[in-house]
């Protein structure tokens, strides 16, 4: 057992890099073998990467997308986390909201884009709103779960020492539920990226998803694959950064099984 | 009696919401061409359901949804079970790289490689839905009581046979939990893929209605796919109860 864990640790450091290289190599071989028009080799796509990354317009598009995503994420943090924490500590509120949330849960949020655009116009507001909806639910559920399962004695102590209910929510419940809240943030972050890309693919106004399909319409296939690589790297990079932050903030907590792959719009 | 009351209680907030929505459109607070009344959506759904053309779109969506889910289930469980015994570290690293990647970004590539028909949508559904099943199976199979495996091996069961006679049943609860997440993801993914580029399916119907600003027709496919998601989820829960009837 120890041998295999040690082996795994060595692999853990270099592993992701090796996996990426192996995947690229597999891609290269398959593409050369198939010789499809719509399936350029990895080398061709990689050659387009610097071209796209030095193109001001493309960068502005990706930047716009990320800005909207950040806005929506912060908004969801401000709304969904407090509501989730309150739900976790109040049975009445949980009973009121849970049925509503479980009905909203299976709705594809990015699919709301056409409706939301008719209601709020084609500007940033609609796009931010749709991402906000997608991010809110996982955040809310994880906050709810964290607040519900916290150690109640902590709350009693705080109450006995004269702490008011609103203060308790932020000084006791929030830190106690933080590991779950941050897990929700991680799911929410990948969700935000998915909803962002899919809503831009559906609405085709601006942003990274639109760039992707524009390149496809113009039959610039290496560009399409380069954009996919950029978005994939973005997903991996954001997740990695957040995971570091999460470990730093909650290194004191028990390790939780991450339900990370459960993310989707 | 009390049990029936308890079952109905969660429905009250929902009913209140639907009533408020209905009355706000009826009373003219919201323009009905911007937000149709729920009753109007349901009436339209009832009108469309017997039509062969509408059913064809539903069928296309269901083929992609269930086909993709089935492939994800078979591959996810097989890979997860095998990796729990050999090369687990490799699989874990591959998952760590691929899981946070937004799979929807691969959709254009799938369209270019597999064409505009079923295959590209099914590929996207598989890419999205396989991860929860794979992870659940892998982690579940690794935490199976080793004594069970040892006993089976000592009694003369082969390596592969142990895998599907002992490890698979013991991992079943975890697999079913993974399935629940995957099924929902599959529903959402297939719908989005159809909205983005397709010539049939429920998602395409939404895009079509959006182009002509038919609000009611936009809500119908959305309500239907969400109901399909809920229904599949309920079916899965009953299957779970049936499959796990021996376990606590």
pLDDT digits (tens, 9 = 90+) for A19-77: 888 888 888 888 888 877 778 888 887 888 888 888 888 888 888 889 999 999 999 99
pLDDT value, residue A12:
59
Query: CA dist B147 to B49, B154, B155, Å?
Result: 54, 10, 12
Segment 194-213 of chain B within 8 Å of chain A by CB: 195-196, 203, 206-207, 210, 213
C-beta atoms of B192 and A95 within 8 A: no
For the stretch B156-188, pLDDT in tens is 777 778 888 888 888 888 888 889 889 988 998
List of residues 6+ apart from A237 with CB closer than 8 A: none
pLDDT at A10: 55
Picking from B14, B89, B103, the nearest residue to A99 by CB comes out as: B14
Within chain B, residue ranges assigned H as helices are 2-8, 11-26, 38-48, 52-85, 88-98, 107-114, 118-142, 146-154, 159-162, 168-196, 202-211, 215-243
Q: Which residues contact B190 (CB under 8 A, 6 or more apart)?
A: B61, B64, B65, B68, B121, B124, B125, B201, B203
List chain B residues with CB under 8 Å of A4: 89
Smallest CA–CA distance, residue A143 to chain B, in Å, is 19
Q: Percent of chain A having pLDDT more than 90?
A: 8
CB pair distance less than 8 Å for A95 and B9? yes
- Report pLDDT for A7: 52
Interface confidence, given as ipTM, is 0.82
In this structure, are residues B61 and B69 in contact, taking their beta carbons and an 8 Å threshold? no
- Residues of chain A below pLDDT 50: 1-4, 258-265
> How confident is the model at residue A42, as a pLDDT?
80
With an 8 Å Cβ cutoff, are A260 and B100 in contact? Answer: yes
CB contact under 8 A, A106 and B34: no
Q: What is the CATH architecture assignment of B42-243? A: Orthogonal Bundle (1.10)
Q: Which residue of B has its CA nearest to A99?
A: B10
Q: Which pTM value belongs to this model? A: 0.84
SS3 A97: helix
CATH class of domain segment(s) A41-262? mainly alpha
Q: What percent of chain A has pLDDT over 70?
A: 91
User: Within chain A, how many helices (H) and strands (E) appear?
Assistant: 11, 0
Q: What is the least distance, in Å, from the CA of A1 to any CA of chain B?
A: 12
> What pLDDT score does B68 carry?
93
Angle (nearest 5°) at CA A251 between A250 and A255: 90
How far the first Cα of chain A sits from its last, in Å, is 39
Would you call A15 and B102 a contact, using CB atoms and an 8 Å cutoff?
no
Q: Measured between CB atoms, does B16 come within 8 Å of chain A?
A: no
Residues with pLDDT less than 50, chain B: none
């Amino acid at each position: 057992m120890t041998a295999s864990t040690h082996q795994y640790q060595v692999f853990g450091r270099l592993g992701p890099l090796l996996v990426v290289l192996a995947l690229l190599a597999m891609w290269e071989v398959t593409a050369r073998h198939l010789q499809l028009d719509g399936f350029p080799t990895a080398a061709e796509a990689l050659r387009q990467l610097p071209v796209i990354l030095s193109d001001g317009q493309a960068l502005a598009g990706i930047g716009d997308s990320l800005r909207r995503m950040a806005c929506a994420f912060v908004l969801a943090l401000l709304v969904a986390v407090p509501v989730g924490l309150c739900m976790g500590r109040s049975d009445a509120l949980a009973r009121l909201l849970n049925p509503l949330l479980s009905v909203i849960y299976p709705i594809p949020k990015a699919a709301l884009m056409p409706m939301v655009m008719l209601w709020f116009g084609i500007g940033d507001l609609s796009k931010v709103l749709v991402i906000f909806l997608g991010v809110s639910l996982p955040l809310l559920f994880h906050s709810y779960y964290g607040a519900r399962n916290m150690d109640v004695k902590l709350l009693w102590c705080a109450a006995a020492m004269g702490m008011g209910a609103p203060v308790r929510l932020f000084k006791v419940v929030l830190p106690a539920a933080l590991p779950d809240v941050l897990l929700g943030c991680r799911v929410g972050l990948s969700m935000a990226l998915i909803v962002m890309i899919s809503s831009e693919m559906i609405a085709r106004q601006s942003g990274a998803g639109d760039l992707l399909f524009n390149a496809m319409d113009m039959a610039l296939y290496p560009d399409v694959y380069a954009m996919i690589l950029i978005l994939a790297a973005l997903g991996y990079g954001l997740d990695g950064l957040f995971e570091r932050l999460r470990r730093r903030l909650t290194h004191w907590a028990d390790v939780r099984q991450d339900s990370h792959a459960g993310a989707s719009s | 009696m009390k049990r029936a009351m308890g079952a109905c209680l969660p429905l009250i907030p929902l009913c209140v919401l639907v009533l408020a929505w209905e009355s706000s459109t009826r009373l003219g607070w919201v323009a009905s061409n911007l937000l149709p009344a729920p009753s109007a959506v349901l009436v339209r759904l009832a009108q469309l359901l017997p039509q062969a053309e509408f059913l064809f779109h539903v069928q296309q969506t269901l083929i992609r949804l269930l086909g993709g889910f089935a492939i994800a289930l078979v591959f996810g469980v097989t890979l997860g079970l095998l990796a729990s015994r050999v090369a687990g570290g490799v699989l874990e690293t591959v998952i760590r790289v691929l899981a946070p990647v937004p799979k929807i970004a691969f959709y254009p590539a799938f369209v270019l490689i597999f064409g505009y028909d079923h295959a590209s949508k099914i590929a996207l559904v598989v890419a999205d839905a396989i991860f929860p099943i794979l992870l659940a199976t892998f982690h579940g199979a690794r935490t199976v009581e080793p004594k069970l495996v040892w006993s089976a091996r000592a009694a003369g069961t082969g390596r592969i046979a142990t895998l599907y006679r002992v490890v698979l049943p013991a991992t079943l609860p975890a697999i079913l939990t993974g399935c629940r997440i995957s099924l929902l993801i599959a529903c959402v993914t297939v719908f989005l893929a159809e909205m983005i580029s397709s010539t049939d399916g429920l998602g395409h119907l939404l895009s079509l209605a959006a182009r002509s600003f038919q609000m009611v027709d936009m809500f119908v496919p959305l309500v239907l796919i969400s109901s399909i998601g809920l229904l599949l989820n309920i079916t899965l829960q009953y299957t779970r109860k049936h499959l796990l009837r021996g376990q606590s």
